[in-house]
């Protein structure tokens, strides 16, 4: 009887701890709401949209850059705007991480949106939320899908270059590695493929695809490789920063040609082509290549899920006055 009672007690304690963890996690997520600023800053979303629309109208590539900022923020410490912090006495900026250095861009657009919002509602709207809204508005500005952005995130007071270099995907990642990275953040292989579809716009630097276009592999179209070699010389570091569109067909439009390209072995990055290489995600790529409405819907769903990754809410973190430094 004693042993039975002891076992039951331990089981009850374990169950109670699991239940508490679930309640706390659920409460954190529940604090995010699309109506979070309706009373405290009702013109926040319109103000952010105006800034983003203006920036993308001046440079279409900026849409891809802004979506990438939100992605690279959420994958490190959660969606907390830690990516935006500059180096300081107490901060080693995530901007210095290999995956961000020299390629992450659009920070000035976020800074402008924040400044405009601060004029109407000082100290109310977080930089983390501005990043999330900017990603949605950037997509819409290039005829991409829209989705309802949940709000109420707060800003981190710390950053981690080391964690960024450890956690952010690499252009050389295998499919299994990508699935693992996304899975660690509660994102499914379907989310992975949908979010990768953001590469329907934007550009990549020569050094990120040089090995792929010169290795004469069986997973790349030879004519495509020849075309890409024209502005990406074989000998590094020559041409390292030369740009090529991630989608050669429609580089400035948010559409589903990215997936058609993968089927034709015309993925620019190794981490793109592995999504259609005889593995478990081939069927998803095939589906999106023929069903653009499904891709657009799934992309919005995946962006919402990504925006839910470990946000700071309640009294955690702070609302920064400027996005590049803690208060």
Contacts of 271 (CB under 8 A, 6+ apart): 169, 170, 171, 172, 173, 178, 196
Cis amide linkage into residue 237, ω under 30° from 0: yes
Q: Respond yes or no: is residue 72 known to be catalytic.
A: yes
pLDDT above 50: residue 10? no
> Mean per-residue pLDDT for 184-192?
97
Share of the chain above pLDDT 90, in %: 88
Q: Binding residue per annotation — 281?
A: no
**pLDDT at 216 (0 to 100):** 86
> Mean per-residue pLDDT for 183-203?
97
Per-residue confidence at 54, pLDDT binned at 50, 70, 90?
A: very high
Query: Residues 68, 72, 181, 305: which is the catalytic one?
Result: 72
> Mean per-residue pLDDT for 10-32?
49
Q: 5-19, 151-165, 275-289: which range is least confident on average? A: 5-19
Q: Binding residue per annotation — 10?
A: no
C-alpha R_g of the chain: 21
Place of tokens 């501005």: 130
Q: Binding residue per annotation — 221?
A: no
| Mean pLDDT value across the chain | 92
Q: In 10 A of CB 115, how many CB atoms?
A: 12
Domains, the chain, ordered by start: 43-168 (1.10.520.10), 175-305 (1.10.420.10)
Q: Does 20 or 284 have the greater pLDDT score?
A: 284
Q: Binding residue per annotation — 324?
A: no
pLDDT above 90: residue 29? no
Per-residue confidence at 2, pLDDT binned at 50, 70, 90?
A: very low
Per-residue confidence at 24, pLDDT binned at 50, 70, 90?
A: very low
Nearest to 139 by CA among 314, 22, 305, 299: 299
Q: Binding residue per annotation — 65?
A: no
What tokens does 158 get?
């710390």
Place of tokens 């891809």: 64
End-to-end CA distance of the chain: 59
pLDDT above 80: residue 17? no
pLDDT tens profile 283-323: 999 999 999 999 999 999 999 999 999 999 999 999 999 99
Q: Binding residue per annotation — 169?
A: yes
Torsional class of 85: left (φ above 0), alpha (ψ -120 to 50), beta (otherwise): beta
What tokens does 118 get?
């601060």
pLDDT above 50: residue 14? no
| DSSP string covering 97-117 | STTTTTT---HHHHHHHHHHH
Per-residue confidence at 26, pLDDT binned at 50, 70, 90?
A: very low
pLDDT above 90: residue 21? no
What tokens does 166 get?
């450890």
Place of tokens 């190794």: 270
pLDDT above 50: residue 5? no
**pLDDT at 56 (0 to 100):** 97
């Amino acid at each position: 009887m004693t042993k039975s009672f002891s076992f039951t007690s331990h089981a009850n304690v374990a169950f109670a701890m699991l239940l508490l963890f679930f309640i706390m996690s659920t409460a954190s997520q529940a604090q995010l709401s699309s109506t979070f600023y309706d009373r405290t800053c009702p013109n926040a979303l319109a103000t952010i949209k105006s800034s983003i629309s203006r920036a993308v109208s001046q440079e279409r590539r900026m849409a891809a850059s802004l979506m990438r900022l939100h992605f690279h923020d959420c994958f490190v410490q959660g969606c907390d705007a830690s990516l935006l912090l500059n180096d300081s006495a107490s901060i080693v900026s995530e901007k210095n991480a290999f995956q961000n250095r020299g390629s992450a861009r659009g920070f000035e657009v976020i800074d402008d949106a924040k400044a405009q919002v601060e004029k109407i509602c000082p100290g109310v709207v977080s930089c983390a939320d501005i990043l999330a809204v900017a990603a949605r508005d950037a997509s819409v500005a290039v005829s991409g899908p829209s989705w309802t952005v949940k709000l109420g995130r707060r800003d981190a007071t710390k950053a981690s270059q080391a964690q960024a270099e450890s956690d952010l995907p690499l252009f050389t990642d295998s499919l299994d590695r990508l699935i693992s990275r996304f899975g660690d953040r509660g994102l499914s292989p379907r989310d992975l493929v949908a979010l990768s579809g953001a590469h329907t716009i934007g550009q990549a630097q020569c050094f990120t695809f040089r090995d792929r276009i010169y290795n004469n592999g069986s997973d790349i179209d030879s004519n495509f490789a020849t075309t890409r070699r024209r502005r990406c010389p074989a000998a590094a570091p020559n041409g390292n920063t030369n740009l090529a569109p991630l989608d050669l067909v429609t580089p400035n439009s948010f559409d589903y040609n990215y997936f058609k390209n993968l089927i034709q072995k015309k993925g620019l990055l190794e981490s793109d082509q592995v999504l259609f290489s005889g593995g478990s995600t081939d069927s998803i790529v095939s589906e999106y290549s023929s069903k653009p409405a499904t891709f657009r819907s799934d992309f919005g769903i995946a962006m919402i899920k990504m925006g839910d990754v470990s946000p700071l809410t309640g009294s955690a973190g702070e609302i920064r006055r400027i996005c590049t430094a803690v208060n």
